Amino acid sequence: MLKYFLPSDYANSIYDINLNQLIEKGIKGIITDLDNTLIEWDRPNATPELIDWFKKVEAKGLLVTIISNNNQERVGTFANPLSLPFIYDARKPMSKSFKRALVEMDLHPSEVVVVGDQLVTDVFGGNRLGLHTILVTPVANSDGFWTKFNRRIERFLLGRMKRKGMVYWEDKHE
């Protein structure tokens, strides 16, 4: 069961993800979480650095879809100025939104990576469909109410995975 919570890869931030390596692996699309993955959960708009990253992703020919458990107003306020497709009220880790993103991007699971800051929602949701998953360190040290609850579960899972020798990265999630 723990294997479903184990990411395929780990990065300190989205900026540390090697886009060329993803392309070499056959990746054509990125499903990404929004809050505490791309920007702080309480920041409404993209930073200039993040806008540049999206331009690099686009220049490499990679598609991006944002999947967030947050509401339409929150996700739309962020995604619409960037002309990025998004799915709100995603109910991650449920599979429906991940499947919808695959259909909308017209890609197969082997061609998509899921990037997120939570094991319980992003990694578990992506792994259940056989997607490549990348766990990133949260960009903020604070979380909303439900994420605080998820972080407690995450600490327990990471502890179990560490004891079993499954964690290979320096853990910043504690």
The angle subtended at Cα 79 by Cα 76 and Cα 82, nearest 5°, is 140
How many alpha carbons fall within 13 Å on the CB side of residue 156? Answer: 7
pLDDT of 113 strictly over 90: yes
Q: What burial class does residue 8 get, using C-beta atoms within 10 Å of its C-beta: 0-12 exposed, 13-18 middle, 19+ buried?
A: middle
Cα-based distances in Å from 129 to 60, 77, 98: 25, 28, 8
| Contact between 90 and 35 (Cβ < 8 Å) | no
- Break the chain into its structural domains and give their ranges: 2-163
Q: How far apart are the first and last CA of the chain?
A: 21
pLDDT tens profile 86-109: 999 999 999 999 999 999 999 999
Q: What DSSP string describes 14-40?
A: GGGS-HHHHHHTT--EEEE--BTTTB-
Residue with tokens 């920007």: 39
CA distance 2 to 169: 16
pLDDT of 150 strictly over 90: no
Q: CATH for 2-163, among 3.40.1710.10, 3.40.50.1000, 3.30.720.200, 3.40.50.970?
A: 3.40.50.1000
Of the chain, the percentage scoring pLDDT greater than 70 comes to 93
